[in-house]
């Protein structure tokens, strides 16, 4: 049973906003998300935060620009997720447009691990670079930067992850989350940080008369916002005002057909009509296909797709990514079933006493795939509503884990507390409030699991462990295409600025299981028949009348559009509304 909680509504504020958005429904939804000023729903590019207060940006831009002017080699070292891939592609695309001598490296997660390691520096050194620029990584790469310095290679770190107690001795560091950075938005994804750096590099090159001397057209950074939007959505960073501007402009341009071939091809294989694109299409259609390469094989496939200059070349790579993603799904399904059995066994072994109830969940199976444990951690976290870490075997003595948290527990800080109190237990770790990665000795898994549960217990209350469905209230008499389209296009919905969810009581007219996994429904409300589907709900509903939480969506089939409700939750404790 999930507890249904309705967002607080501010009628006066909603009335004020209605004058701007010309819609009582949208005004209500914005007010429920804390929008207090009309400027907060103006997502035009002119509202992007200026870069002036970003620590290290000027120094980094000067180094990159000087390396370009001096015709020296630049190597971009990326990460193996979608944010890292888009960051890498963005840097390579834009710097090549500035006639930079630039290439890239992405560590294979199974061979080199994460970030700018000394081993990756050794690989990069063979390409004889004067400068290494990291994207979406590097803030924890103390040893890697040290190795680069020893070889006389300058380094510029661009990252958004939280720094540790010691930061690398890089030539420059650009990270809104580093100590002393006054940049107001701490929620930038790695690709957003890269975007700001490129803006500063262009400014320095302009001052050096580089474009004039080379008779080059200055790169128009707005042309790269499709990459920025993709990476920002995929990394599930909070959608603060600045990120909403970046994503909104990227999506707006993509809907207008201003899309690079690689993203266009990925949209096509995911079955998305770019003219009706919304952020959810990227999050659940494009991003998984891009991420699959880094999870199972080599993210270079994804980066090359994003760098492709031709539609034909992009289609080949997008289809390859689609195939890898199908393989990922198969692996994930098997691992998820195994993980659920581990959780069931753990629950069965607990007594009724709350003292033995797990607050933090750790899972390990020697056969699990390193690249998929993050998804498994997320799936189990959603199922049991507990911070969850899933581990895979790296060697006979080492395991790597991927962690996902719930609101109330800052997962990176929790790992830091465990590591500080137990020196030598965790080999390395890093991450965000809601997601992190770590490695530790296999022999100490049980010890770590107990410590993680204890740390979670310190940070979480019993109430934090209750699964909640947050609703925007009832949607009365507005089950039509116009309403669905209005909501979909009103804003770039995402983490921290969630897509609207409504609740209501419906009469179930018909229901059936599709493919053994999903529940297809025909509902009646106020004499109106409405189609609905509950994904991953493989049992029929016994009651004829049922309160459900849902999103309103548009289902397009053979060119015909129809309203469809996406059921988010069926088993609701609605007495707490």
What CATH number corresponds to the domain at position 435?
3.10.310.30
Pair 34, 72 in one domain = no
CATH of the domain at 108: 3.90.1640.30
423 found inside a domain: yes
Same domain, yes or no, for 83 and 131? yes
DSSP 398-438: EEEEEEE--TT--HHHHHHHHHHHSTTS-SEEEE-SSEEEE
500 in the same domain as 457: no
* CB 555 within 8 Å of CB 276: no
Among 430, 465, 500, identify where a domain stops. 465
- The helix or strand, by DSSP H or E, that contains position 564, with its residue range, turns out to be strand 560-569
159 in the same domain as 13: no
Q: Is the dihedral of CA 13, 17, 23, 25 positive or negative?
A: negative
- Please report the pLDDT score of residue 20 as a whole number: 80
Query: Is 81 within a domain?
Result: yes
Question: Does the reported pTM lie above 0.95?
Answer: no
Task: Judge if 460 and 474 occupy the same domain.
Answer: no
pLDDT of residue 576: 40
CA-to-CA dists, residue 517 to 126, 293, 569, angstroms: 51, 26, 15
Q: Are residues 481 and 547 in the same domain?
A: yes
Which two three-digit tokens encode residue 246?
């970046």
Per-run averaged pLDDT (10 residues), the chain, 577 residues? 85 82 91 88 93 97 98 95 96 98 88 85 97 96 97 98 92 97 97 98 97 95 97 94 96 96 98 93 96 90 97 97 96 94 78 65 96 94 94 95 94 95 92 89 96 95 90 90 94 93 95 92 93 92 94 88 94 55
| SS3 at position 217 | coil
pLDDT of residue 355: 47
> What total number of domains does the chain contain?
3
- The reported pLDDT for the residue numbered 354 is 45
384 occurs within a structural domain = yes
Report the candidate in 93, 331, 388, 59 with the shortest Cα–Cα distance to residue 220: 93
What whole-number distance in Å separates Cα of residue 93 and Cα of residue 96? 5
Which tokens in the block code for residue 415? 């790992």
Pair 60, 201 in one domain: yes
Asked if 82 and 291 count as a contact pair (C-beta separation under 8 A), the reply is: yes
Q: Which residue range forms the structural domain that includes residue 438?
A: 350-465
Residue 151 falls inside a structural domain? yes
Given 400, 430, 465, which residue is the final one in a domain?
A: 465
Q: Which pLDDT score is estimated for 554?
A: 93
Given 465, 500, 534, the domain boundary residue is: 465
67 with 165, same domain? Answer: yes
In 3D space, the residue among 382, 334, 335 whose CA is nearest the CA of residue 361 turns out to be 382
Whether residues 398 and 540 share a domain: the answer is: no
280 in a structural domain: no
pLDDT confidence of residue 39? 86
Residue with tokens 């790597």: 400
The pLDDT assigned to 171 comes to 98
Based on DSSP, count helices (H) and strands (E) in the chain, helices before strands.
19, 18
């Amino acid at each position: 049973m999930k507890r249904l909680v309705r967002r607080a509504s501010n009628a006066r504020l909603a009335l004020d906003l209605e004058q701007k958005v010309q819609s009582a429904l949208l005004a209500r939804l914005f007010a429920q998300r804390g929008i207090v000023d009309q400027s907060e729903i103006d997502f035009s590019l002119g509202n992007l935060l200026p870069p002036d207060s970003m620590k290290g940006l000027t120094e980094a831009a000067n180094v990159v620009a000087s390396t370009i002017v001096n015709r020296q080699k630049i190597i971009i070292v990326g990460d193996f997720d979608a944010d890292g891939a888009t960051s890498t592609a963005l840097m390579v695309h834009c710097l090549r447009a500035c006639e930079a001598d630039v290439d890239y490296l992405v560590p294979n997660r199974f061979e080199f691990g994460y970030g700018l390691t000394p081993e990756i520096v050794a690989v990069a050194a063979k390409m004889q670079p004067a400068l290494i620029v990291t994207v979406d990584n590097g803030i924890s790469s103390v040893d890697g930067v040290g190795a680069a310095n020893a070889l006389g290679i300058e380094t510029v770190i661009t990252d958004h992850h939280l720094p540790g107690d010691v930061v690398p001795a890089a030539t420059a560091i650009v990270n809104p989350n580093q100590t002393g950075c006054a940049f107001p938005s701490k929620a930038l994804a790695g690709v957003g940080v890269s975007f700001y750096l490129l803006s500063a590099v262009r400014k320095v090159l302009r001052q050096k008369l580089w474009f004039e001397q080379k008779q080059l057209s200055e790169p128009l950074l707005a042309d790269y916002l499709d990459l920025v939007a993709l990476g920002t959505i995929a990394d599930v960073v909070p959608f603060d005002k600045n990120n909403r501007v970046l994503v909104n402009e990227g999506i707006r341009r993509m809907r207008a057909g201003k899309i690079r071939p690689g993203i266009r091809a990925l949209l096509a294989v995911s079955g998305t009509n770019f003219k009706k694109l919304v952020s959810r299409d990227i999050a659940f259609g494009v991003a998984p296909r891009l991420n699959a390469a880094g999870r199972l094989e080599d993210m270079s496939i994804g980066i090359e797709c994003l760098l492709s200059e031709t539609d034909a070349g992009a289609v080949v790579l997008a289809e390859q990514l689609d195939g890898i993603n199908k393989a990922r799904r198969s692996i994930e399904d098997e691992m998820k079933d195994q993980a659920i059995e581990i959780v069931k066994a753990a629950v069965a072994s607990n007594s009724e006493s709350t003292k033995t109830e797990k607050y933090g969940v750790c899972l390990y199976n020697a056969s699990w795939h390193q690249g998929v444990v993050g998804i498994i951690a997320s799936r189990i976290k959603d199922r049991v509503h507990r911070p969850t870490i899933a581990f895979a075997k790296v060697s006979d003595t080492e395991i790597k884990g991927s962690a996902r948290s719930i609101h109330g527990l800052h997962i990176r800080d929790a790992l830091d507390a465990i590591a500080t109190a137990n020196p030598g237990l965790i080999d390395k770790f890093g991450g965000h409030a809601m997601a992190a990665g770590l490695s530790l000795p296999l022999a100490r898994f049980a010890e770590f699991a107990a410590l993680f549960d204890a740390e979670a217990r310190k940070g979480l209350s019993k109430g934090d462990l209750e699964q909640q469905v947050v609703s925007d209230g009832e949607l009365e008499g507005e089950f039509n295409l116009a309403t669905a389209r209005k909501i979909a296009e009103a804003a770039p919905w995402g983490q921290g600025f969630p897509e609207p969810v409504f609740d209501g009581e419906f009469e179930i007219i018909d229901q059936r299981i599709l493919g053994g996994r999903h529940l297809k429904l025909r509902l009646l409300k106020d004499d109106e028949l409405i189609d609905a589907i509950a994904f991953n709900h493989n049992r029929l509903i016994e009651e004829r009348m049922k309160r459900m939480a849902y999103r309103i969506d548009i289902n397009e089939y053979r060119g015909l559009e129809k309203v469809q409700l996406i059921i988010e939750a069926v088993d609701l404790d609605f007495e707490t509304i």
